[in-house]
Amino acid sequence: MSDTSARPSAAFLRASAPLAGDFRVPGDKSISHRALILATMATGTSRITGLLEGDDVLATADAMRALGAQISRRDDGVWEVTGCGPAGLKTPARPLDFANSGTGARLVMGVVAGAGISAKFTGDASLSRRPMARVTLPLALTGAQIEDGGTGKLPLTITGAATPLPIDVTPEIASAQVKSAILLAGLGAAGHTIVREKHITRDHTENMLALFGAKISSQRSGAENAENIVTLEGHARLRAHDIAVPGDPSSAAFPLVAALIVPGSTLRLKNVLLNPQRDGLIRALTRMGGNIKRVNERMEAGEPIADLQVSHSALKGIEVESDVAPSMIDEYPALAVAAAFAEGTTHMAGIGELRVKESDRLAAVEAGLRANGVDVEAGADSLRVTGGAPIGGACVTTHDDHRIAMAFLVMGLATQNSVRVDDTTMIATSFPNFFEAMASIGAQS
């Protein structure tokens, strides 16, 4: 795990001058998890460049080793994963500890369910409060046995069926993690596994499964309330594939918002993933008047990427409809900070999922903004922010949530008084060099 011993737990950032320069965004967390998992399930050796070396992804790497993969990091930063191939996964000798990683835990549940092996899943206190039944209930339809004491939470044990069944399911919650777990379990089933989505979610798993050789397709139904129908042919023989991990748009959210709110700033964010199911924040900020230009657009690892040229902008409040929530669910804390500096009111709807993230992010954002002089109100699944010139001056309680910590550190770059956060150690889960990266563009701690 990342060493945070040299970093004081409480911190703040200030900008004494405009932010400027090139900013290399850390590797995308979602793709990093999936690269490790699919390389483990494949035959041969995959090489992964740009892997996010945050605590969440490192926990997944440890879990893949426990399931039988050979994983090493070369001196040049490239990760090599020699997979187990079909039927090569093994029951681990110890519980799989995912620390704070909901993505890693939920996706690997699907791997275990489809592989006919058994594993106990554990995590830290925060992860152990998060709902897992949304994944385990559909996995039980494959024949997997779930032992969670009736809690629907960690710790729990999954024992995959000797002959997993293909399933045709419509998840109640729009979640790429749920969809991905079902598809990964489907690799071990004969026949076709089908996931019908009421609202399309990020498709990194589908894109990467195709790269590794699985037969998978997506299509929209012709019905009035169209579904996104994902179909996977089981018993796929995955083949090793080299992966270049693009920059994480969820991590890019913080320097992006910083450049928009600090007067005079101009940044170039390098190598940012722009998957249509992940670029909701960029679209929302552009509607608010943000000066954001996509340059050097290209494709890598089956995903669209580009550099983003961003400069300080006069933002205006907008209505952010519920249908865009899946494309930016992790970026709402950053959007709320941008809204605090915008003219007028920004209303965000359909974001109740934020209440079951690493913290109750809706409550944490509301409390942090209000403490720093912002007119804000959170509903059951909504947030209303009326912007202006936030005073700042408060210390924000982060509730062990990395995105809350980074969002309010960014807010303090442009408030009249400094904004402190009570803890920063958890930032290592997704952005290990956050302070160093922000210092490189002019932020001072």
Inter-CA distances, 50 with 15, 47, 244, Å: 29, 10, 6
Instruction: Calculate the CA dihedral of residues 133, 137, 138, 141 and round it to 10 degrees.
Output: 160
The beta-strand segments (E) located in 275-368 are: 291-300, 303-311, 319-320, 345-349
Residue carrying the six token digits 């385990």: 136
**Helix, strand, or coil (residue 151):** coil
Instruction: Calculate the CA dihedral of residues 260, 361, 306, 244 and round it to 10 degrees.
Output: 140
Residue of 330, 400, 401, 423 marked active site: 330
Q: CA-CA distance, 65 to 75, in Å (whole number)?
A: 19
**3 catalytically annotated:** no
CB-based contact 346:384 (threshold 8 Å): yes
Residue carrying the six token digits 């690892």: 301
Which of 272, 231, 238, 242 has its CA nearest to residue 255? Answer: 272
Q: In what order do the strands lie in the sheet with 11-12?
A: 11-12, 420-421, 395-396
Q: CA-CA distance, 315 to 256, in Å (whole number)?
A: 13
Q: Hey, what are 204's tokens?
A: 């990194």
Look at strands 156-159 and 291-300 and give their pairing.
Answer: unpaired
* Total residue length of the chain: 445
Q: CA-CA distance, 287 to 296, in Å (whole number)?
A: 22
Catalytic residue ranges: 330
